[in-house]
Structure 1
Amino acid sequence: MNQSTFPFSFFSKKFVKTEDAKVSIMTNALQYGNGVFGGIRGYYNKSKKALFIFRLDDHFERFLNALKILGVSIPYSKKQLKEIVVNLAKKNQPTTDSYFRPFAFASSDNISPNLDRDEVFNFCLFMISLGEYLPTNIGISAMVSSWRRVSDNSIPARAKISGAYVNSSLAKKEATDRGFNEAIVLNEGGHVSEGSAANFFLIKNNILITPAKTDDILEGITRRTILELAMDLKIQTEERSVDRTELYTADEAFFSGTGVQLSWINNIDGRTVGDGKRGKIAGKLQDLFFEIVRGNNKKYSQKWCTAIKIG
């Protein structure tokens, strides 16, 4: 995964040089992971000289809901947050695919982990240029992790809470240390939850299946997109608990997410998925997805993409 940082960021209520966006070593969030973050992709279309930001409204809807789950707030509305993203893109003038990272964190030097009502949450936003997080044009390998997904009753899975992602880091490290691209994480009930930082889908007998929201998953925006597209394409879908052994008999499988986009899987725990090639359903969804996010599909791009002229 190649990435490079853009020169400007948003920090402490203003646009600053990224190198000047710094926090104290005493920052509460640095000690305890008391923060909420998001990930938003912008796709550069050279022929249109525009950056297409995908489902910006939905990302900040989830972001603000995550803050509600923590019982904290920031002094920005959804409209204002979207404007900050657009203005930052205009300042940085990206001519590559880009990734926006909004982050709200406990910024006091309080050494208590208590999220009391007086805790000040600071909002910041930075951009990086980002290509593929995982390969999308070749199949990837995955293993079922020995680490279990943190229960929603322990740390809310519906919120992207920064401290919770040590769970993801452990699963990802285990997978890559053993030569796999990605991990598949089970929940405490033994059902499939998701990847280390991506939602999971499998196809069996032409049915698109994904773990239920109640299986300790992040309610992914790309996941929702895939389900909506499948409905429009008349592909039968099921949101339900998935057993581990179903992974080994799947006809197709793939991960979805803002970072991973749509990456198809050809091997799980050393077992070939289907015929080891990109499947018909995953292929159809992947091709349509990339057409949409680059602003090349009139029906969906106008609905889901925020276009920013560059140059």
Structure 2
Amino acid sequence: MNVPAAVPTVAPAGPAMLGGPDREHLDPPAATAALDSLASPAAEHPEWIWRSGELVPWEQARIHVNAVGHASTAAIFEGIKAYRADDGERLLLFRLDEHLRRLFDSARICRLALPYDFAQLKAAVLDLLRVNRYIEDAYVRPWAFPSGLIREQMVPAGSACEVVVDSWPFRARLDTGGGCRAGVSSWQRVSDASMPPRVKAFSNYHNGRLAMMEARENGHDWPILLNERHKVSEGPGACIALVRNGTVITPSLTSGVLESITRDTAITLLGELGETVVEREVDRSELYLADELFFMGTAWEILPITVVDGLTVGAGTPGPVTRRLTAEYTRLVRGSSDRHQGWLTEVPR
């Protein structure tokens, strides 16, 4: 199988370390919609994957089992979404540049040497989506891990990395009108003093995985984690915000949260919609007094929370601020908004 014409291979740029209520609002199958949107049957995969500077057939993108192990403890990644535009003619990547910059930030903190520069990785993402001929919504994941056979837990600083970009279709859950049940977890969010939350590393996500399993065992859909100061931090892969007395409040970036691109988008849009937004520490009890609650993240988009620790939030349905934000976010990523056109990158045909 040949690589499609006009797709150049990419030579490395050289190592670079750059900077209990009822469930009418969400039935059990819908409760996992955010995770399901990122999963697809093994038989449903794209034809091509980008690996180490070239597009290769999916079946050939393999590594030896011994190359996984400890190498994955230092692995970093990004999750990026491409949305089919409302005009049906374009596929639009949302905030691609910001996601790639965060990948380089994660590499810097983790002392990993990425062998490709920004422009090369951006071209890789665009080439991959083009050759896989996506016309519907797609999820893109650039990720990097130390190359070779790593048999020790200690991955030395400056280790050479292999970079992969893979992709798959996803089901957007934007503006579905539903909500989820959340519960405060007994698991504590990792802190900047231990495993920096602003790094998007695979190893950090085990923290959220433990909290998710506990939440499901306790009858919730998703967990909310507190930080080491017992203040509200985030969900397992999504930031959180509440609305109380007309003010939108979200935990500060020093509350143990990822420097979320969706959070930044939401704060910007809310301000443009005339809402007052405050970033500060948030007490657990404030969740119980909120008029509205919602998660926000690339995977979950804007996900309303209608029940928290068994208490109904507001009227038990997505509130007006959440609905306005979701509607504007949907218009933006679908290319129907006049706002922030620079956040959209059209995938070439």
TM-score for the superposition, normalised by structure 1? 0.95
Unaligned runs of at least 5 residues, structure 1:
none
CA RMSD of aligned residues (A): 1.7
**Equivalent residue runs for 1:268-283 within 5 Å:** 268-283=308-323
- Which residue pairs with 2:294 in the alignment? 254
Does residue 7 (structure 1) correspond to residue 44 (structure 2)? The answer is no
When residues 29 and 46 of structure 1 are mapped into structure 2, their CA distance, relative to the original with a 3 A threshold, is farther
- Which residue pairs with 2:324 in the alignment? 284
Identify the range of structure 1 (104-113 vs 132-141) with the bigger mean alpha-carbon deviation.
Answer: 132-141
Does residue 109 (structure 1) correspond to residue 133 (structure 2)? The answer is no
Shift of 1:28: 5.4
- Which residue of 226, 235, 245 maps to 1:195? 235
When residues 282 and 133 of structure 1 are mapped into structure 2, their CA distance, relative to the original with a 3 A threshold, is closer
Amino acid at match of 2:319: G
Q: Secondary structure at the match of 1:146?
A: strand
1:151, 1:187 within 8 Å by CA — same for their partners in 2? yes
- Which residue pairs with 1:245 in the alignment? 285
1:35, 1:161 within 8 Å by CA — same for their partners in 2? yes
Q: Secondary structure at the match of 1:6?
A: coil
- Which residue pairs with 2:270 in the alignment? 230
Amino acid at match of 1:53: L
- Which residue pairs with 1:34 in the alignment? 74
Identify the range of structure 1 (224-233 vs 4-13) with the bigger mean alpha-carbon deviation.
Answer: 4-13
Does residue 70 (structure 1) correspond to residue 116 (structure 2)? The answer is no
Between the aligned partners of 1:73 and 1:29, the Cα distance in structure 2 is: 19
Between the aligned partners of 1:164 and 1:118, the Cα distance in structure 2 is: 20
Shift of 1:113: 2.4
Identify the range of structure 1 (19-28 vs 96-105) with the bigger mean alpha-carbon deviation.
Answer: 19-28
Cα deviation 1:24-44 (Å, max 9, x = unaligned):
222255555211011000001
Shift of 1:135: 8.3
**Equivalent residue runs for 1:136-155 within 5 Å:** 136-155=176-195
When residues 146 and 136 of structure 1 are mapped into structure 2, their CA distance, relative to the original with a 3 A threshold, is farther
Shift of 1:140: 0.9
- Which residue pairs with 2:342 in the alignment? 303
- Which residue pairs with 1:213 in the alignment? 253
1:28, 1:108 within 8 Å by CA — same for their partners in 2? no
Unaligned runs of at least 5 residues, structure 2:
1-35
More strand by share: 1
Shift of 1:186: 0.7
Amino acid at match of 2:170: L
Between the aligned partners of 1:67 and 1:288, the Cα distance in structure 2 is: 32
1:29, 1:106 within 8 Å by CA — same for their partners in 2? no
- Which residue pairs with 1:43 in the alignment? 83
2:86, 2:334 within 8 Å by CA — same for their partners in 1? no
Q: Secondary structure at the match of 1:26?
A: helix
Amino acid at match of 2:317: K
Between the aligned partners of 1:79 and 1:12, the Cα distance in structure 2 is: 15
When residues 268 and 113 of structure 1 are mapped into structure 2, their CA distance, relative to the original with a 3 A threshold, is same
- Which residue pairs with 2:64 in the alignment? 24
Between the aligned partners of 1:135 and 1:128, the Cα distance in structure 2 is: 21
- Which residue of 174, 198, 216 maps to 1:176? 216
Amino acid at match of 2:209: S
Amino acid at match of 1:308: V
2:112, 2:158 within 8 Å by CA — same for their partners in 1? no
Between the aligned partners of 1:296 and 1:133, the Cα distance in structure 2 is: 17
Amino acid at match of 1:216: G
Between the aligned partners of 1:163 and 1:134, the Cα distance in structure 2 is: 28
Between the aligned partners of 2:74 and 2:111, the Cα distance in structure 1 is: 12
Amino acid at match of 1:287: A
